[in-house]
Amino acid sequence: MTFSTPQDIDPARYRLLWDAKEGPGPVIYWMSREQRAHDNWGLLLAQQKGLELKRPVMVIFCLTTEYPGATRRHYGFLLRGLAQLQKVLCDYNMILHLLHGNPEKTLPVFLESISPALLISDFDPLRIKLRWRNSILQHSRIPWIEVDGHNIVPCWQASPKREYGAYTLRPKLKKLLPRFLTDVPPLAVHPYSMSGITDTPINPEALLEQIQETSVGEVKWIIPGEKAAKSMLAIFLQNKLEHYSINRNNPCINGQSDLSPYFHFGQLSPQRVAWEVSQGPFTPETTESFLEELIVRRELSDNFCYYTPDYDKVSAFPDWAFKSHDAHRQDKRLYLADLAELEKATTPDLLWNGCQHQLREHGKMHGYLRMYWAKKILEWSQSPEEALSNAIYLNDRYSLDGRDPNGYAGIAWSIGGVHDRPWFDRPIFGKIRYMNQNGCRRKFKVDLFLQNLLEQSVMPETTLNGDDRQ
390 binds, among ligand FO1, ligand FAD, none (CB under 5 to 8 A by kind): none
CA distance 95 to 105: 21
199 binds, among ligand FO1, ligand FAD, none (CB under 5 to 8 A by kind): none
33 in contact with ligand FO1 (CB under 6 A)? yes
Paired sense of beta strands 57-63 and 95-100, if any: parallel
Given a contact cutoff of 8 angstroms between Cβ atoms, the answer to whether 453 and 357 are in contact is yes
CA distance 43 to 88: 13
Q: Which region, judged by CB under 6 A, interacts with ligand FO1, from 61-69, 133-141, 187-195, 357-365?
A: 61-69
Of 403 and 431, nearer to ligand FO1 (C-beta) is: 403
Question: What is the 3-state composition of the chain as percent helix, strand, coil, each rounded to the nearest 5?
Answer: 50, 5, 40
120 in contact with ligand FO1 (CB under 6 A)? no
Of 294 and 337, nearer to ligand FO1 (C-beta) is: 294
Of 248 and 325, nearer to ligand FAD (C-beta) is: 248
Side-chain-side CA neighbours of 391 within 13 Å: the count stands at 34
349 in contact with ligand FAD (CB under 6 A)? no
259 in contact with ligand FAD (CB under 6 A)? yes
353 in contact with ligand FAD (CB under 6 A)? no
62 in contact with ligand FO1 (CB under 6 A)? yes
64 binds, among ligand FO1, ligand FAD, none (CB under 5 to 8 A by kind): ligand FO1
CA distance 40 to 184: 8
202 in contact with ligand FO1 (CB under 6 A)? no
Burial class (CB in 10 A: 0-12, 13-18, 19+), 463: middle
CA distance 40 to 186: 9
118 binds, among ligand FAD, ligand FO1, none (CB under 5 to 8 A by kind): none
Q: Which of 110, 132, 263, 265 binds ligand FAD (CB under 6 A)?
A: 263
126 binds, among ligand FAD, ligand FO1, none (CB under 5 to 8 A by kind): ligand FO1
Q: Which of 406, 417, 418, 446 binds ligand FAD (CB under 6 A)?
A: 406
- Residue 403 Cα distances to 128, 248, 260, 342, 468, angstroms: 11, 23, 12, 19, 31
Alpha helices (H) in 280-366, listed in sequence order: 284-291, 298-307, 319-327, 339-344, 350-357
Task: Give helix 367-379 / helix 350-357 axis angle, nearest 10°.
Answer: 120
Of 97 and 150, nearer to ligand FAD (C-beta) is: 150
404 in contact with ligand FAD (CB under 6 A)? yes
Least Å from the CB of residue 463 to ligand FAD: 21
Edge-to-edge, what's the strand order for the sheet holding 118-122?
14-18, 144-147, 118-122, 27-31, 57-63, 95-100
Q: Which residues of this protein are in contact with ligand FO1, per CB under 6 A?
A: 32-33, 62-64, 67, 70, 74-75, 78, 124, 126, 264-265, 403-404
Instruction: Write out the residues near ligand FAD by the rule CB under 6 A.
Output: 248, 256-260, 263-264, 293-294, 297-298, 301, 367, 370-371, 374, 395, 399, 401-402, 404, 406-407, 410-411, 413-414
